[in-house]
A and B are shown apart, each in its own frame.
Chain A
Amino acid sequence: MSKLLTVRDLVVEVPSRRMKIIDGISFSLEAGQTLGLVGESGCGKSMTCYAVANMLPRGIERTGGSIEFERDPSKSGRAADPTIAMIFQDPTSSLNPVHTIGYYLESALYRNQGLKGNDARLEAMRLLERVGIDRAKSRLRAYPHQFSGGMNQRVMIAHALAAKPQLLIADEPTTALDVTMQAQILHLLEELKAETGMALIIVSHDLGVIARLADHAAVMYCGKVVETAPVADLLQRPAHPYARALIDCMPSIDPADLEPPVPIPGSVPLLDSLPKGCHFHPRCSRATGECTALFPSPSAIGRVHEASCYHPVAA
């Protein structure tokens, strides 16, 4: 299978403070596959997405590494890059409050597919229906504040579909939603993936979401990827103590599972005062002197399974 996206040694910095938010991460994604990014708040999941989508905020820059897309040989320039669409954690604030849902979808359809007037309206209605919004015709005249968060997330997904993307980046698409809505949105994403064959990068701090959608997962900690593995491997045989700890602190809904969730001791260090060596060592029970000296380079655990740790947890 062909690589749709290859990220190598990506570095993202706040130049004014000479602070590295993303410190040399690498991963790749094949066409139609799903990559899950998981890690605690502040580890750089969103910044990774923004860097890939080329929408880093003001004052934050990519200062190193490469992001390569598989190019369409029949086209040239930017048009040859695959189309990327993105959806966000807080759908309502990502929608312009003065524009109607109809304007939002129809202008995207015009930009991406050249559709105008009635054609655009019909297609917008079809997209709304596809993402599970009924009475689509009257909804086109509604404003984002008249919709619930879950409905707005559906609108954002419909809008993403208007671009016919080869890659959809979903940054915590369900974090702000209630549980039933979360399940519906995840189900919708699964369906759309199967239908359109698009690749997906799904970000979550919830391993359950990653387990459900992703083929492959990358665990991030303090701007580094510390473990990458096929999702099943990661859940069953986590090698990095941090990945292990993330899995252990996941609450289980299996009544036979009597082990209570174990919280990770300590807290995530601040980016401008990262511990030397392996950034996880102050919280790690396996840490030795070696761990405090130099950041461990990734080593193979299995086929397409790597972890950056001096003392990986045995399978």
Chain B
Amino acid sequence: MVGFILARTFRAILVLIFTVTLVFIVLRLSGDPAQQMLSDSTSPEALAAFNAKWGLDRSIFEQYLFYVANALRGDFGISFADGREVFTVVSERIPKTFALTVPAFILSLLIGIPAGIIAAMHRESAVDKGVMAGAVLGYSIPNFLLGLVFIFAFAVWLRVLPSSGSSTWRHAILPVATFALYNAAAVARFMRSTLIDVLGQPYIAAARADGVPNIEIILRHALPNAAIPMVTTLGFVAGGLLGGAVLVEPVFAWPGLGTGFVNATSTGDLPVAQAMVLLFTAFMVVINLTVDVLYVVLNPKIRKQ
């Protein structure tokens, strides 16, 4: 098991190095940085000084090492937009995005998992149909549209909640609700189908025939098995939450990474955009690694080999 986790960690690091390299290549292919940053009338001496300062006069391989070394130190250069360090610009947005995605993730588990379990336990009953109708509804409305509906209902019409900004916790309610509802629907659907699948396995029928009480069947026999595929699904949900930040945050003018990324790409702030791409990749890599590790921890078939 330790070997497996080490192998997965090694793979995660490879993915990160690959992404850093890819970003470097795309950046160099997109044009000469000196020409992009400086005006056409810059003197040749100034150009040479600029190239020397950023190492652009070295070989492409040296430049690559230079770039990786800087990236490892968290130095992604200066934002074109406001001249501040990219590191500062990006890192002050991270807590804002977590302030939405972490509560949304927890809420979607707290709502989605029990709803899915109850639906699966009362399969084909009115409860099941109600839960699933709600889930289909929540799942089929696009994130940002749901956000707009919420703004209209609670901010414009009822006037009980603010529609944009991030100054108080009340500002977080609508974006968190938007995120959580959509993802709770996804979690509920997967939880239900996974549990129904497990409940149809021969070992569950055998346990029932043994007279194991229903509550114990669900908690001790079915759920530990359902948890294994669920971990993968929850990894997708967590990744989807971070990706969804790009869609949902701008709707609420929430100053997180999503809004930052949309701004950076639309104004051509390349250093900020590339740092954010790397950051999103790093998040995904960490999520995948967590999923892989949990998958092994929960699954004796892999753990005990």
Contacts and interface: CB of A to CB of B under 8 A. Distances in A.
B288 to A, nearest CB: 23
A55 B207 contact: no
A111 B206 contact: no
A94 B304 contact: no
A152 to B, nearest CB: 11
Interface stretch (A85-93, A219-227, A254-262, A289-297): A85-93
Given A93-B201, A93-B203, A98-B224, A86 B209 contact: yes
Interface residues of B, number: 22
Given A143-B301, A145-B300, A96 B212 contact: no
Contacts of B207: 96
A53 B208 CA distance: 11
Given A111-B210, A111-B211, A143 B202 contact: no
Contacts of A117: none
B210 A94 contact: no
Contacts of A96: 203-204, 207, 221, 225
Contact of A55 (B208, B221, B300, B301): B208
A146 interface: yes
A108 B207 CA distance: 10
B304 A97 contact: no
A57 interface: yes
Contacts of A99: 221, 224
Interface in B208-256: 208-212, 221, 224-225, 228
A95 interface: yes
Contacts of A142: 304
B25 interface: no
Contact of B300 (A58, A88, A97, A163): A97
Q: Say what secondary structure dominates the interface of chain A.
A: loop
Interface in B267-305: 298-301, 304
A256 to B, nearest CB: 43
B300 A86 contact: no
A163 B207 CA distance: 13
Q: Is the interface of B mostly helix, strand, loop or mixed?
A: helix
Nearest to A96: B203
Contacts of A111: 210-212
B81 interface: no
Interface residues of A, number: 25
A93 B204 CA distance: 10
Contacts of B204: 96
B205 A55 contact: yes
Contacts of A146: 304
B225 A86 contact: no
A149 to B, nearest CB: 14
Contact of A88 (B206, B225, B299, B301): B206
A143 B300 contact: yes
B304 to A, nearest CB: 6
A141 to B, nearest CB: 9
Nearest to A95: B203
B300 A93 contact: no
Interface string A41-72: 00000000000011101100000000000000
Contacts of B298: 98
Nearest to B212: A111
B210 A108 contact: yes
Interface of B: 200-212, 221, 224-225, 228, 298-301, 304
Given A94-B205, A163-B210, 15 more contacts: A55-B208, A86-B209, A94-B203, A95-B206, A98-B224, A98-B225, A98-B228, A98-B299, A98-B300, A99-B224, A107-B212, A108-B210, A143-B304, A145-B301, A145-B304
21 contacts: A54-B209, A55-B205, A55-B208, A57-B205, A85-B210, A86-B206, A86-B209, A88-B206, A93-B201, A93-B202, A93-B203, A94-B203, A94-B206, A95-B203, A96-B203, A97-B301, A98-B225, A98-B228, A98-B298, A111-B212, A143-B304
